[in-house]
Structure 1
């Protein structure tokens, strides 16, 4: 099989390579590392060879400078995890709305920052997806790039690719956060959750196969400080949300005061940047032989999500606890919106499962489902009217004029990364209140 990592310098790729190297199904794959940054390409290529040697795998490694390079090889599976100037632009996505009094928790996947992020990333990924389509329109494509469900929606609706899945590690992170509360190893925890990416509801929570909700209830009584927003939602709607307060808080207008300072805004952005640097530091040590194999094994508790799905498609049938797909009655949201649900994966394909959710909880998701559609279509079409509709629909926007002014400024500062918009679109948003 031919597996391409596009944006191979991403933090997701090393785990994908490790999963390939330690999988009986994948260890003989042909791996293509597509990375435009020369330094990152050299590093991930050397790391791939080191992982291959360390774990005695037989996969091939081919570094490429662009997606066009895949034309001579072909591709069966493509993992897309691309971004431009992530942290510099993320800071602007948070700071500019905040200046206008809009209290968005992160500004990455929701709120006006999430909208600006969508407008930048969708055209970037669409360009890559169309080139994959030219090479093999039947390729299975996995998207890690945020805002992941909006990007997935755009690829499915603006290219001829049909086997497109959005992936996220949020459900794994929720297990890691709940493990100390439940006094369990995170690998013993299983969950059935559904909703929208970064905003799902846990229908079933188990430890070692047994219902863990009673255990969670007891733990939360002893820890009222643990994730106040998630606890409020749990008390209200009867299901614990996932993945955590700051990600869920991106979509709720009342979240700001409930999310601790260290988990929102610039503090969280800087923390995320430093965590990425620390992972890369450890990988450099591994490359130099200073981190032994057994330590690497301990460090990796869960397989890469994309390669876990590929294993299922290639013969190791399994339940993938969270995958993002177009809704076809899996939950009670509009058809075609990208929902996150569990799925059975086998050589027959990906079979998403239906999950029942409380009606009141679904109302919160319906608003975000519409924003998902509007923002993805706006990004793909360069449609400024849909940008405005998404702004005024967002629960985080407390004031119409402030929201439009903030969005206009976001467009202006990011224009060099917005190929479908120009200064005229900025002026249209600025003048919308007066029109």
Structure 2
């Protein structure tokens, strides 16, 4: 399907052009497009959809047409399976690809499990995340080579995991590209604070820095007052009495509250994520049960996503596109508003460190507050993190840096060295077992990771 399909709507000059790569991720694509076209000034934008799976692409085209129709019928829509055909004149490129579906992801769980390794999310740290990076980063590099060739001034916004490894690989190999990684964990956790403490989310302010899925609320305030004493009181007087397998307000946060108890700071990503980023929870099943943590949590999430996608297809085929109201949750629209319309904002974004956090490596990817205005995106300098928080970040960064080196240089040995650094693997396996497990996983994915080792 090489031909670019155009949907020419009412309007002449389009304000900006945004390309969604991996737009077949229909549920998330719908959310982002609704956000963008809910901004009145953006209703005449140029929207380009790209996905290698034409069936999934067509579902997203139906969604896009419905959203455009409801939001003023002014936007221009084009779609294709060949990304180079729509990158010309792009101002923004959004990456939301997934390399390998449920069955491929299950391999990342099943083989390590044979060796006694439990995993939850496999999207940040650990052997599952390394495997995902080996499959994903070569394709993201190909995408960004096309961007550098066709629309080198475009902003590249990455939503794909493993976030830090992808952004780090791009920053090391294509330093001129404007790479920014967008996640949801900072604002999602702020919403959780409002539920835990029964206070309005709009009155909560914070200063957060660290690495993706392991950033720290260095400052947390409610109407200017330090919120940590109330959060700690909640933890001591209410949270500890809850049965581990149960949740409050839909969340199971026993791991994160225990981290707060031990470190004095709350971390940005969920307890299932955090349990994978340090070596104390996943080493034995009884500990996982105590904390309410499930092996294979991401697989359960994928099963629910598949059900949601199939439900969406049925609804679309019955003429029901669902809600087209924006919840204003994702950063993307606020960033574009700041750049295009001068509506200044602050968002936590994944960027190249380069001294922003003084006690983390210069060449790693960090997540820091960024000021955004009509001149662009301006990361804020943090200084040093508290030393114990930086040390915890470093245990993850070491693994990520080695995995990125393996991919960029084709050095297969660095894959094994990265797995050695996994906090959970190193707390359970011998070196010989690490090598055998890694051998088996690499062989299982051999055809999918050839691009990493052809150098």
Q: TM-score, normalised by structure 2?
A: 0.85
Match in the other structure for 1:33: 49
CA apart distance, 1:263 = 4.4
Find the residue that maps to 2:62 and give its secondary structure. Answer: helix
Find the residue that maps to 1:343 and give its secondary structure. Answer: strand
Find the residue that maps to 2:40 and give its secondary structure. Answer: coil
Supply the distance in 2 between the matched residues of 1:207 and 1:273 (Cα, whole angstroms): 37
CA apart distance, 1:328 = 2.4
More deviation, 280-289/85-94: 280-289
Mapping for residues 270-349 of structure 1, pairs under 5 Å: 270-275=300-305, 277-278=307-308, 281-282=311-312, 285=315, 288=318, 290=320, 295-297=323-325, 300-331=326-357, 332-349=359-376
Supply the distance in 1 between the matched residues of 2:90 and 2:306 (Cα, whole angstroms): 28
Match in the other structure for 1:433: none
More deviation, 59-68/49-58: 49-58
| Cα distance change on mapping 1:296 and 1:136 into 2, 3 Å | closer
* 1:98-154 residue CA offsets vs partner (Å, 9 max, x unmatched): 211223333332111111111110001111111111102121101111101101111
Find the residue that maps to 1:241 and give its secondary structure. Answer: coil
Match in the other structure for 2:67: 51
| Cα distance change on mapping 1:217 and 1:280 into 2, 3 Å | farther
* 1:24-60 residue CA offsets vs partner (Å, 9 max, x unmatched): 3432211100111111111111111111111225221
* 1:213-243 residue CA offsets vs partner (Å, 9 max, x unmatched): 2321222120124522212221222111111
Supply the distance in 1 between the matched residues of 2:223 and 2:76 (Cα, whole angstroms): 38
Mapping for residues 223-234 of structure 1, pairs under 5 Å: 223-224=239-240, 225=242, 227-234=253-260
Q: Is the 8 A contact 1:3 1:78 kept in 2?
A: yes
Find the residue that maps to 1:20 and give its secondary structure. Answer: helix
Gaps of 5+ in 2: 1-15, 243-251
CA apart distance, 1:284 = 5.7
Q: Is the 8 A contact 1:344 1:351 kept in 2?
A: yes
More deviation, 313-322/240-249: 313-322
* 1:54-100 residue CA offsets vs partner (Å, 9 max, x unmatched): 122522110111212125x4211100111122322221112211211
Match in the other structure for 1:431: none
More deviation, 282-291/109-118: 282-291
1:63 to 2:79 alignment: yes
Mapping for residues 182-201 of structure 1, pairs under 5 Å: 182-201=197-216
* 1:346-387 residue CA offsets vs partner (Å, 9 max, x unmatched): 111111123352111111111222222211121233211211
Supply the distance in 2 between the matched residues of 1:38 and 1:153 (Cα, whole angstroms): 30
Match in the other structure for 2:7: none
| Cα distance change on mapping 1:189 and 1:302 into 2, 3 Å | farther
1:111 to 2:126 alignment: yes
1:265 to 2:291 alignment: no
| Cα distance change on mapping 1:44 and 1:189 into 2, 3 Å | farther
Match in the other structure for 1:413: 444
Q: Is the 8 A contact 1:197 1:340 kept in 2?
A: yes
Match in the other structure for 1:170: 185
* 1:166-223 residue CA offsets vs partner (Å, 9 max, x unmatched): 1111223323333321213445544321111011111122345543223212221201
Q: How many residues align?
A: 419
Match in the other structure for 1:19: 35
Q: TM-score, normalised by structure 1?
A: 0.89
More deviation, 174-183/4-13: 174-183
Supply the distance in 2 between the matched residues of 1:175 and 1:273 (Cα, whole angstroms): 27
Match in the other structure for 1:206: 221
Supply the distance in 2 between the matched residues of 1:394 and 1:271 (Cα, whole angstroms): 23
Task: Kindly report the root-mean-square deviation, in angstroms, between the aligned alpha carbons of the 2 structures.
Answer: 2.5
Q: Is the 8 A contact 1:120 1:379 kept in 2?
A: no
1:351 to 2:355 alignment: no
1:150 to 2:165 alignment: yes
| Cα distance change on mapping 1:212 and 1:400 into 2, 3 Å | same
More deviation, 311-320/9-18: 311-320
Supply the distance in 2 between the matched residues of 1:135 and 1:311 (Cα, whole angstroms): 24
1:240 to 2:266 alignment: yes
Mapping for residues 55-94 of structure 1, pairs under 5 Å: 55-56=71-72, 58-71=74-87, 73-94=88-109
Match in the other structure for 2:247: none
Gaps of 5+ in 1: 426-435
